[in-house]
Amino acid sequence: MSTDWDRVLAPRSVALIGATGRADNPMARPLRWLTERGFAGRVHPVNPKYAELGGVPCVASLAEVPGGVDLALALVPAERAAAAVTEAGAAGAAAVVVFASGFAEVGDEGRALQDELVAAARAAGTRVLGPNCQGLYDARSRLFATFTGAGERPLTGSSGIAYVGQSGAIGGSVLDVAAERGLDLSAWVSTGNEADVSLTEIGRHLVANPEITVLTVYAESLPDPDDYAALAAEARAHATALVVLRSGRSEPGRRAAVSHTGAMLGDDTAFRLVSRRHGVVLVDDVEELLAAATMLRGRHGPAGRSVGLVTSSGGAGILAADRASDAGLAVPELTAETQEKLARLVPAFGAVANPVDVTAQLFNDGGEFGEVCGIVRADASVDAVLVLLTMLVGETAVALARDLAATVAEQGPDAPPVAVVWMAGEDGTAPARALLREAGIPVFSSIALAVRVLDAVAAPPGAVPAPTAPLDPVPGDGWDLLDALGVRRARSLRSSDPAGDVAELGGTAVLKAEGLEHKTESGAVRLGVRTSEAAAVHAELAALPGVTGVLVQEQVPAGVELLVSVDGGRDGWPPVLTVGHGGTATEVHRDVVHALAPVTPETARTMLGELRCWPLLEGHRGAPGVDLDAAVDAIVRLSRACDVPGLGELEVNPLVLRPASRTSDAASLASEARIATRSDPRHAVAVDVLRTEK
């Protein structure tokens, strides 16, 4: 259903169905705020019990409202909400805000009420925001269609930051804390149960508003994948920063995985990868949400991951450098030209390389602290500046804040962002903190929090792969997907002549029992079996419980082992490629990285470089490095398994990487592979895909 959201956020008329005359009732707040705080549209309280409310004429029903209604607020209990929606639709309302709880969140009976509510909206041709929500606020139209206590603040909407979220209580906290910090939100929407209107739908309207530079989102459940991707893409197209806080990420996975990667692929992995692809900033709490929004108000974050540190204390600088390094942020040495400029201002016993320690003496001498920060900010190697202040309070703090704010303003919005960590009490620094926040400079009380936010806003977007031609569907049997992908594999045979098979494979081979989930733990893999031993080992493996056959496989020379797995995509989210340290100790290493599949060679190489086992690939303690080109090629080819209709998961473990000095055709070999189809969504049954040649 097409919705005119301008009629919702900037309505010409608002009707309050079930408006109350009890001043102590939170539901009395919307009428009071709409009539007292600058809303220019018409306000119509609807309740047959009253002739007027708050000095405004009250009507018995919406049918009596002249000129129709753009937005209706249903201030009624859950059992009366559907009737209110029907009445609002008849009056031409574009949307109805249903505040009441008691719907799907309370069980089956509430779910039935919620279904009735949605059906009434569809029949009436209107939309429902909620139920179980706290409404919305729009600063531009002065629309206070909410009862949240945070609305008592003198909101001005000056920040250019908007919020949309599923939780009313969290949303109220965001609105309140933001206002307390001088970040009055420009728009605020609580979506509640999202029976009809989702946060992604209203978010797509908000990011298109040129007055909104940052949209903050709180989600308690994963949104629809296509809707979320559309929101992220449109935010990027409009140069609107998107900052998302998602809770509930610790829930167990919904599938029982027998593969190595199943337990390491979280439910929100694809969500996080889609977010990264579109440049969405993901944060972990409300404090980070607001801090990231403040840093991104100027429409851009750090261009890279290098941080310049300016501190009044050497110890604080060391702590910040440690934290930054732990987070993968670089603290580069400043250029010689920059250090020369700084040396003219910083006392001789300070430091100018990075961190830049100005020492307390700079402030005792009335030095130009803002100029120091500006010099660091102008260094070509710096993508963001983190200022670390200790016990600078009172008038000194105020003067410092004015100086820094002036420098940031003078250098303009295109210069690297600046943030401050002030490790001193609020009572001695409150005016100075307020000056910095008014200048759009976020202020933290914790180095760890500041670094987490810098890490979040500096995360680069992921690569978008070129489209590939679709492959054939996965059959129900052991169709050889590796051959279709062009991945070299260990030659494998299955027959009743194990000695002959071993001889054909060179006189030494590996024997594996088939039909078992974890062969090594069951003693079902025997290495280095010679021709003379083959029959006895074959018989021993065939006698193991649950074995369906014995595979005789080429003995793969030793090398670095990788895990490469492609999850075929779940719940509408795109497929995910996992690359990690492979072999029998994969779960012990837990050294894995993820990317959306398929990947480009550049992405595959980057993934390898992010593994902790990278030194083994590069060459460690005199050992030769592996053929990285061959490894990249194999990963790219395997990632294309995502194009196969019906794929649940393809896992190769190990993919054995050979030294670069060896011939390229033996540089990477798949010696074990498993495939699961969507017809087995729990991955309880997986079949070997190595081709049998007899």
Query: Using DSSP, how many helices (H) and how many strands (E) does the chain show?
Result: 23, 30
Instruction: Sort 184 into a burial class: Cβ within 10 Å, 0-12 / 13-18 / 19+.
Output: buried
What pLDDT sits at residue 79? Answer: 95
Mean local confidence (pLDDT), 446-459: 90
Q: Which fold has domain 307-457?
A: Rossmann fold (3.40.50)
> What's phi and psi for 245, nearest 5 deg?
-115, 120
Q: Which CATH superfamily is domain 148-301 in?
A: Succinyl-CoA synthetase domains (3.40.50.261)
Residue 680 one-letter amino acid: D
Residue with tokens 């919620």: 114
Q: How confident is the model at residue 476 (pLDDT cuts 50, 70, 90)?
A: very low
What pLDDT sits at residue 568? Answer: 83
| Contact (CB, 8 A) for 534 and 499 | yes
Instruction: Measure the CA–CA gap between 297 and 161, rounded to whole angstroms.
Output: 7
Q: How does the average pLDDT of the chain come out, rounded?
A: 86
Residue 232 one-letter amino acid: A
What pLDDT sits at residue 253? Answer: 34
Q: How confident is the model at residue 286 (pLDDT cuts 50, 70, 90)?
A: very high
Q: Residue 254: is its pLDDT beyond 90?
A: no
Residue 112 one-letter amino acid: A
Please tell me which of 95-109, 285-299, 664-678 the model is most confident about, judged by mean pLDDT: 95-109
Of 215 and 294, the one with more pLDDT: 215
Instruction: Measure the CA–CA gap between 183 and 443, rounded to whole angstroms.
Output: 12
Say what percent of the chain tops pLDDT 70. 89
User: Which residues in the chain are classed under CATH 3.30.470.20?
Assistant: 560-688
Reported pTM:
0.84
What pLDDT sits at residue 483? Answer: 80
Q: Residue 493: is its pLDDT beyond 80?
A: yes
DSSP class of residue 330 equals: B
Q: Which fold has domain 1-134?
A: Rossmann fold (3.40.50)
DSSP strands (E only) in 573-623: 576-581, 592-596
CA 551 to chain centre: 43
Residue 610 one-letter amino acid: E
Mean local confidence (pLDDT), 344-361: 88
What pLDDT sits at residue 184? Answer: 87
pLDDT tens per residue, range 599-639: 999 999 999 999 999 998 988 777 788 889 999 999 999 99
Mean local confidence (pLDDT), 473-479: 45
What pLDDT sits at residue 264? Answer: 45
Residue 461's alpha-carbon distances to 233, 282, 454, 658, in angstroms, are 12, 12, 15, 32
Q: How confident is the model at residue 299 (pLDDT cuts 50, 70, 90)?
A: low
Mean local confidence (pLDDT), 31-57: 93
Of 67 and 672, the one with more pLDDT: 67
Q: Which CATH superfamily is domain 491-554 in?
A: ATP-grasp fold, A domain (3.30.1490.20)
Q: Residue 39: is its pLDDT beyond 90?
A: yes
> What's phi and psi for 33, nearest 5 deg?
-70, -35
What pLDDT sits at residue 471? Answer: 62
Q: How confident is the model at residue 686 (pLDDT cuts 50, 70, 90)?
A: very low
What pLDDT sits at residue 472? Answer: 59
Instruction: Measure the CA–CA gap between 220 and 165, rounded to whole angstroms.
Output: 8
Instruction: Measure the CA–CA gap between 537 and 534, rounded to whole angstroms.
Output: 5
Q: Residue 73: is its pLDDT beyond 90?
A: yes
pLDDT tens per residue, range 388-401: 998 888 998 999 99
In 3D, which of 378, 314, 321, 320 has the Cα closest to residue 347?
314
Of 477 and 598, the one with more pLDDT: 598
Q: Residue 565: is its pLDDT beyond 60?
A: yes
User: Which residues in the chain are classed under CATH 3.40.50.261?
Assistant: 148-301, 307-457
What pLDDT sits at residue 226? Answer: 92
Mean local confidence (pLDDT), 343-359: 90
What pLDDT sits at residue 463? Answer: 57
pLDDT tens per residue, range 418-431: 999 999 888 899 99
pLDDT tens per residue, range 182-229: 888 999 999 999 999 999 999 999 999 999 999 999 998 888 899 999
Q: How confident is the model at residue 364 (pLDDT cuts 50, 70, 90)?
A: low
Q: How confident is the model at residue 478 (pLDDT cuts 50, 70, 90)?
A: very low
Peptide bond into 654 cis (omega under 30): yes
Q: What angle do CA 313, 317, 318 make, to 5 degrees?
A: 120
Q: Residue 267: is its pLDDT beyond 60?
A: yes
Least confident of 346-360, 391-405, 475-489, 562-576: 475-489
| Architecture (CATH level 2) of domain 560-688 | 2-Layer Sandwich (3.30)
Instruction: Measure the CA–CA gap between 153 and 176, rounded to whole angstroms.
Output: 8
Contacts by residues 333-342 (CB-CB < 8 Å, ≥ 24 positions apart): 333/381, 334/308, 334/376, 334/379, 334/381, 334/382, 335/379, 335/380, 335/381, 338/375, 338/376, 338/378, 338/379, 341/375, 342/372, 342/375, 342/376
Q: Residue 690: is its pLDDT beyond 80?
A: no
- The count of other CB atoms within 10 Å of the CB of residue 340 is 12
Q: β-strands 687-688, 673-677: how paired? A: antiparallel
Q: Residue 538: is its pLDDT beyond 80?
A: yes
Secondary structure (3-state) at 14: strand
Sign of the Cα torsion 233, 191, 437, 158 reads positive
Which residues are CB-contacts of 210 (< 8 A; sequence separation ≥ 6)? 238
Instruction: Measure the CA–CA gap between 154 and 148, rounded to whole angstroms.
Output: 13
Name the token pair of 79: 């059992």
Q: How confident is the model at residue 360 (pLDDT cuts 50, 70, 90)?
A: confident
Mean local confidence (pLDDT), 580-585: 84
Q: How confident is the model at residue 646 (pLDDT cuts 50, 70, 90)?
A: confident
Least confident of 385-394, 512-521, 529-538, 683-692: 683-692
Q: Residue 503: is its pLDDT beyond 80?
A: yes
Least confident of 370-374, 525-529, 687-691: 687-691
Q: How confident is the model at residue 683 (pLDDT cuts 50, 70, 90)?
A: very low
Instruction: Measure the CA–CA gap between 179 and 158, rounded to whole angstroms.
Output: 10
Say what percent of the chain tops pLDDT 90. 55
Q: Residue 589: is its pLDDT beyond 90?
A: no
| Contact (CB, 8 A) for 148 and 121 | no
